[in-house]
């Protein structure tokens, strides 16, 4: 038994009583301990996990197993969990214990999943490398000197390293797809509104969407079935009925020139091989254009920052989180709590967002960005009149080294391929489709609104024909001794 097995395989093992949920949980907790240097977890909920595993074993014994009974999982630390701290990767919330569970958390618990803890993330989900986390970055299990991606880097790394078979994440501009690509796991950002945002710490409310990481598309589909659905506590969640896990057969797959042109040659070759495999499976490829996506990064960083500046105004040192000691008056309390509680990237977003919303600049920046957003969305809607799904790269490169991207705008550009679908509210996923310099490459699949079943189905077809999703890194040596060994090799 190990957490590199799929949910389906683990479930079979549990129901056949080859091992108990407690044994599986203890195995995963031991793996988490051995891999502590990967820094995937901000909080390990050991006692809670063992108690949940005991309850799962009792349910199995009674013949009352749900779809995830006894399956270990981790939540991105952006989801509120009653009784276990929710830090959002920030000093501001380092000691925050939510009085309730997020809807995603309670739904997965009701399905029987055993939550092992809360995973590392960029502060308030702002970042593409996990380096803005107050708790230090999670590390990429394929190479601990490299970034796991962000912001849901801890979740992607934990699944990749086999610490858990699945994990939740959130995606505002790419935070599920980019780390999934960097860590070589399957990750889905559902349609905006498919999954409730209740209890998810807000970054940019018109973009934030919860989703999942797992070994393969079938497992992601299992998770989505449980997570999705209208929630009366989130008025933007929608009631469109359950996802249909199928698509037209065969499908027409559009390849947007704006994404495929100017790709690094080796990266382009890996991705093209993946689209050829889809073609070999009977689907048709065609090129198309999404002309306005070129402006997506600029529009996103205005809109997301504007929304963040409003959402983060609640952290005032009074009602939530970090409070600076010994302030003279209320203004100083606000000022110092926010100055000390937030990191540099979060402050940068609050400043630029506030600027974009201020009188005199609102029309030039915020309104203009909203207009661009509309044009990008229209590009996709037009494209989906011609094609069933869109295939694209997820990232311009494989995982970069920690510390390698220092300019904030260079970091923002990492999201160029993921942001357009986010601005359009479309479902999109990343699936492993090759290796480059011993690091995973991900292919992005984008579907029309509420058609995530289409891309999950297509990914499942691909994964039946290939085994990229089954590869996993060798983490039997920890980061420290790996560095030592490499040092010794160099001598």
List, in sequence order, every residue forming a beta bridge with 212; answer none if it has no partner: 168, 188
415 part of the interface to ligand GLN, by CB under 6 A: yes
21 part of the interface to ligand GLN, by CB under 6 A: no
Q: Which residues, numbered 184-203, are part of the site for ligand GLN (CB under 6 A)?
A: 203
Positions marked active-site: 76, 151, 175
392 part of the interface to ligand GLN, by CB under 6 A: no
CA distance 204 to 302: 11
Contact string (CB under 6 A) for ligand GLN, positions 292-331, x = contact: ------------x---------------------------
The DSSP-derived string for 3-51 is TTS-HHHHHHHHHTTSS-HHHHHHHHHHHHHHTGGG--EEEE-HHHHHH
Q: Select 242 or 403, whichever has its Cβ closest to ligand GLN.
A: 403
- Residue 361 Cα distances to 106, 107, 178, 289, 368, angstroms: 42, 42, 32, 31, 10
List, in sequence order, every residue forming a beta bridge with 84; answer none if it has no partner: 81
126 part of the interface to ligand GLN, by CB under 6 A: yes
171 part of the interface to ligand GLN, by CB under 6 A: yes
174 part of the interface to ligand GLN, by CB under 6 A: yes
User: What is the SS3 assignment for 72?
Assistant: strand
151 part of the interface to ligand GLN, by CB under 6 A: yes
155 part of the interface to ligand GLN, by CB under 6 A: no
- Which residues, 6+ apart, have CB-to-CB distance to 437 below 8 Å? 398
Give the interface size with ligand GLN as a residue count (CB under 6 A).
Answer: 13
Q: Which residue in 25, 35, 39, 172 binds ligand GLN (CB under 6 A)?
A: 172
CB 246 within 8 A of CB 457: yes
If you compute the radius of gyration of the chain from its CA atoms, what whole number of angstroms results? Answer: 21
Q: Which stretch binds ligand GLN (CB under 6 A): 41-49, 54-62, 166-174, 459-467?
A: 166-174
- Which residues, 6+ apart, have CB-to-CB distance to 233 below 8 Å? 103, 196, 198
Q: Which stretch binds ligand GLN (CB under 6 A): 7-15, 124-132, 277-285, 400-408?
A: 124-132
Q: Which stretch binds ligand GLN (CB under 6 A): 169-177, 230-238, 311-319, 355-363?
A: 169-177
57 part of the interface to ligand GLN, by CB under 6 A: no
Q: Which residues bind ligand GLN (CB under 6 A)?
A: 125-128, 151, 171-175, 203, 304, 415
């Amino acid at each position: 038994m190990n957490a590199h097995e799929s949910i389906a395989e683990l479930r079979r093992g549990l129901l056949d009583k080859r091992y108990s949920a407690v044994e599986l949980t203890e195995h995963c907790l031991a793996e988490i301990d051995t891999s502590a240097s990967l820094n995937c977890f901000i909080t390990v909920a050991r006692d809670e996990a063992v108690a949940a595993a005991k309850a799962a074993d009792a349910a199995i014994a009674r013949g009352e197993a749900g779809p995830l009974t006894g399956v270990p999982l981790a939540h991105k630390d952006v989801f509120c969990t009653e009784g276990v701290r929710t830090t959002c990767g920030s000093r501001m919330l380092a000691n925050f214990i939510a009085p309730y569970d997020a809807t995603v958390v309670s739904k997965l618990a009701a399905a029987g999943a055993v939550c092992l803890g809360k995973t590392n993330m960029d502060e308030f989900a702002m970042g593409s490398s996990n380096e803005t986390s107050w708790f230090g970055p999670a590390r990429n299990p394929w190479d601990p000197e490299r970034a796991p991606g962000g912001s849901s880097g801890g979740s992607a790394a934990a699944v990749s390293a086999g610490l858990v078979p699945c994990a939740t994440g959130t995606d505002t501009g790419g935070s599920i797809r980019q780390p999934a690509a960097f860590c070589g796991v399957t990750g889905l950002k559902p349609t905006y509104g498919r999954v409730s945002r209740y209890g998810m710490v807000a970054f940019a409310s018109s973009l934030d969407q919860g989703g999942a990481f797992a070994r393969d598309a079938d497992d992601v589909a299992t998770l989505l079935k449980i997570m999705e659905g209208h929630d009366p506590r989130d008025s933007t969640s929608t009631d469109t009925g359950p996802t249909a896990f199928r698509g037209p057969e065969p499908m027409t797959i559009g390849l947007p020139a704006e994404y495929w042109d100017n790709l690094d040659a080796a990266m382009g070759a890996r991705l093209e091989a993946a689209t050829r495999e889809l073609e070999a499976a009977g689907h048709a490829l065609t090129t198309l254009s999404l002309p306005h996506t070129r402006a997506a990064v600029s529009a996103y960083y205005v809109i997301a920052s504007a929304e963040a500046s409003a959402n983060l105004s609640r952290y005032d040192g009074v009602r939530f989180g970090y409070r600076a000691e010994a302030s003279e008056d209320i203004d100083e309390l606000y000022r110092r709590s926010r100055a000390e509680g937030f990191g540099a990237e979060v402050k940068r977003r609050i400043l630029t967002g506030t600027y974009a919303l201020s009188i005199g600049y609102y029309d030039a920046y915020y309104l203009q960005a909203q207009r661009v957003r509309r044009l990008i969305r229209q590009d996709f809607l037009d494209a989906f009149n011609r094609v069933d799904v869109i295939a694209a790269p997820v990232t311009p490169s494989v995982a970069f080294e920690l510390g390698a991207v220092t300019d904030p705008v260079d970091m923002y550009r990492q999201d160029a391929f993921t942001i357009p679908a986010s601005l359009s509210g479309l479902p999109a996923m990343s699936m492993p489709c090759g290796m480059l310099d011993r690091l995973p490459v991900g292919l992005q699949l984008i579907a029309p609104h509420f058609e995530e079943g289409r891309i999950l189905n297509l990914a499942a077809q691909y994964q039946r024909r290939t085994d990229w999703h089954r590869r996993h890194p060798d983490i039997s040596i920890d980061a420290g001794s790996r560095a030592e060994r490499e040092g010794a090799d160099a001598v």
